[in-house]
Structure 1
Amino acid sequence: MLVNERLIQKINHMVETFNISVEIHIEAKCPLNRNIGGKYNAGEQSITLYLEEIQSQCGWMFPGEDVFVEYASVIFAHEAGHATDPYLQKLVELYDATEDEFKRKKIELLVEVQAWKIASALVHDLPDDFFNKIKRISLEHHYKAVSQGFKDEGVA
């Protein structure tokens, strides 16, 4: 079975098992010229995966390992986490109503942590250390931004 067929099979299994109601798009490259592996679009109720970025990230994090399908399924699970987060809409509304940049960074972090929490249940068949490494690296810049905000506020 080809790699993309295995990935589609894995994604379809997650969609069916967890009753995820989104359109799924798979594209070669992110049109935003950003190194993101996936994107959830709440307005369209869709998840788009970007294969070139996923391949690049996977090769960087797990050099020499044949884990593309597993890595891509974690990225999909994270985006599905956004799609199924019961608090996402309220957090987006709070974010939009907040002008304070530090508070916005904390809300962004909360949105991402929520998606990762949900994602962990979707890929429970993968090793924890594999999942947690991807999650840690993904959240790193959000934690740094919030940490910097605490320093700016004179708290830390």
Structure 2
Amino acid sequence: MQHSVIESVINQLLLRSGSSADVVVESTFPDGRLVGGKYHLGTHTITLYLNTIKQQCVQLFATDQYYLDYLMIVTAHELGHAEDQELVELCDQLDECTTKAERNKISLRIEENAWRYARALLKGMDTTIVETVVFHSLKPYYEEMDKEIA
């Protein structure tokens, strides 16, 4: 994939969002986990891991045919974190959590906020692809909450 195409996708979303976040592109997430993107609150920086995003895309869709769409979705999600007006407060609450259940509930809220923003940013995109990614992204959070109820 040409770097200029990737840069164009990222810049298009930055413009659409109006975000002042810096975006850094790297190949893979450092510790080997399948993390496609990361937002750093302290530096207002989004890091996108292109090879990891491609791996996630192939794992979810059994093809890299949707790679650019997947890149857009991950970028929009990270912009959702960057623009979340509640994020500082929610992170403070996470630091003060005394139970795993509390921590899971706040973590889910952080992710849902980012996805709400991303969905708005991705209006006009194939909703099947977007919702598939969102579902698989949030699934572990819901499963954790289900364990607590059971």
Q: One-letter code of the match for 1:57? A: Q
Matched residue SS, 2:35: coil
Query: What is the CA-CA distance between 1:102 and the residue it aligns to?
Result: 0.7
1:3–1:140 Cα change, 3 Å: farther
Find out whether 1:133 has 2:138 as its counterpart: no
What amino acid maps onto 2:83 in structure 1? T
- Which residue matches 1:103? 102
How many percent of aligned residue pairs carry the same amino acid?
Answer: 29
CA deviations over 1:14-63 (Å, ceiling 9, x no partner): 11122111111110111122111000000111000111111111111122
Q: Note if contact 1:81-1:117 (Cα within 8 Å) is conserved in structure 2.
A: yes
How far apart, in 2, do the equivalents of 1:10 and 1:141 lie?
Answer: 28
Q: What's the Cα RMSD here?
A: 1.2
Task: Give a deviation string over 1:107-139, Cα, whole Å, max 9, x none.
Answer: 101110110000011111211111000000011
Superposition deviation, residue 65 in structure 1: 5.2
- Give yes or no for the alignment of 1:116 onto 2:112: no
Measured in 1, the distance between the counterparts of 2:35 and 2:130 equals 17
- Per-residue CA shift, 1:71-107, capped at 9, x if unaligned? 0110011111000011111111111111111111111
Gaps in structure 2 of 5+ consecutive residues = none
Q: What is the rounded CA distance, in whole Å, between the counterparts of 2:23 and 2:64 in structure 1?
A: 26
CA distance in 2, matches of 1:130, 1:21: 27
1:6 corresponds in structure 2 to 5
What's the counterpart of residue 61 of structure 1? 60
For the pair shown, which has the larger CA radius of gyration, 1 or 2?
A: 1
TM-score of the aligned structures, taking structure 2 as reference length: 0.95
Which residue identity is paired with 1:10? V
Per-residue deviation at 1:4?
3.1
- Which runs of no fewer than 5 residues in structure 1 stay unpaired? 152-156
CA–CA distance in structure 1, aligned partners of residues 3 and 148 of structure 2 = 41
For 2:29, the equivalent position in structure 1 comes to 30
Between 98-107 and 57-66, report the one with greater CA deviation.
57-66
Q: Quick check: 2:80–2:113 contact (8 Å CA) kept in 1?
A: yes
Q: How big is the shift at 1:6?
A: 1.8
The residue number in structure 2 matching 1:43 is 42
2:51 maps to 52
- Give the corresponding residue for 2:72: 73
**8 Å CA contact 1:3, 1:69 repeated in 2:** no
